[in-house]
Structure 1
């Protein structure tokens, strides 16, 4: 589907439906569900969880955060982190929200790749147009090489609640 857009200069530009969709913000209801899910699973981190603050924010170089932050401040930090990740994955359309939540837990480099590490099978499959990603999504349930049942349950819950057909 091609959509014509009138620019302020009076020129018209044709945009495909996908490029228009890329600029949209996440579905507010699904985004709130994602925030609630992460808050419930991560919990509010304390000093013994260093370098993680709030609801799982990893301390970045140059940041000066305190464990004395309120729950509202921690939630604002979570929302900011999620929106940054959504911006990275918005080109994946319906799957951007799911990828945003996964990358919050496993890191963006685990999905996007870096250096000699290749792009994940999950992203390659989506880029090929195959949205049958359940097995690839829940495969992100290992810690130090071992499958962790609680992480597997988390992935299944995320997929069930956030995947759009």
Structure 2
């Protein structure tokens, strides 16, 4: 009798353990930052090396905005309801946190693109999600065509004229963030 009770308790414990493991696997699968998401970790303590490269490139080309109208931090565009006011001066730490949040949000938006989510996010951070949604880069990737280098590098113009800094930025972004 005592052996039967011990065996039943053991079976119950194993069943609970199995259910717990299954629950963890399911949560990881549906989580936007889980193991089965885009492959680019964009949240938590340790960001992926690719995400860190994107942060460094954006910081390099955006610079820390101080009293620049509707841009604050590293190019965050102030919009109604986001909790920031135009001309807000952020510390470097605050600006870094805001940049990481913005880029992470963009990665979530494009997570269905898998390993291409980060490169689309970097483009959207600079050009805007509306421009990206209409872009040939977005359309090609959506259709499974990953031959996007020429299209990506073409986003280098300001008011119709090629800008050398944007040209360098796009090349650096593509070389660092496009995962073949």
| TM-score calculated relative to the size of structure 2 | 0.73
In the alignment, structure 1 residue 21 sits paired with structure 2 residue 41? no
Give the distance between the partners of 2:127 and 2:64, measured in 1 at CA: 18
2:94 aligned residue: 73
Give the distance between the partners of 1:131 and 1:64, measured in 2 at CA: 37
- Contact 2:57–2:169 at 8 Å: present in 1 too? no
Alignment of 1:149-160 (within 5 A): 149-160=164-175
Give the distance between the partners of 2:53 and 2:114, measured in 1 at CA: 18
RMSD of aligned C-alpha atoms?
2.4
SS across alignment from 1:137: helix
In the alignment, structure 1 residue 109 sits paired with structure 2 residue 125? no
Give the distance between the partners of 2:113 and 2:97, measured in 1 at CA: 25
Give the distance between the partners of 2:92 and 2:40, measured in 1 at CA: 28
1:122 positional shift: 1.1
Structure 1 residues 75-132: Cα deviation after superposition (integer angstroms, max 9, x where no partner): 00000100110011111111111111110000001011xxxxxx32111111221111
In the alignment, structure 1 residue 61 sits paired with structure 2 residue 77? no
Give the distance between the partners of 2:113 and 2:104, measured in 1 at CA: 14
User: Cα–Cα, structure 1 residues 157 and 55, in superposed 2: closer, same or farther, change >3 Å?
Assistant: same
| Structure 2 portions without partners, runs of 5+ | 1-20, 31-35
Between stretches 152-161 and 26-35, larger displacement belongs to: 26-35
Structure index of larger Rg: 2
2:144 aligned residue: 129
1:36 positional shift: 1.1
| Structure 1 portions without partners, runs of 5+ | 1-5, 113-118
| TM-score calculated relative to the size of structure 1 | 0.79
User: Cα–Cα, structure 1 residues 23 and 30, in superposed 2: closer, same or farther, change >3 Å?
Assistant: closer
User: Cα–Cα, structure 1 residues 88 and 80, in superposed 2: closer, same or farther, change >3 Å?
Assistant: same
Give the distance between the partners of 1:143 and 1:55, measured in 2 at CA: 19
Give the distance between the partners of 2:75 and 2:49, measured in 1 at CA: 21
Give the distance between the partners of 1:162 and 1:24, measured in 2 at CA: 11
Alignment of 1:79-118 (within 5 A): 79-112=100-133
Give the distance between the partners of 2:116 and 2:90, measured in 1 at CA: 32
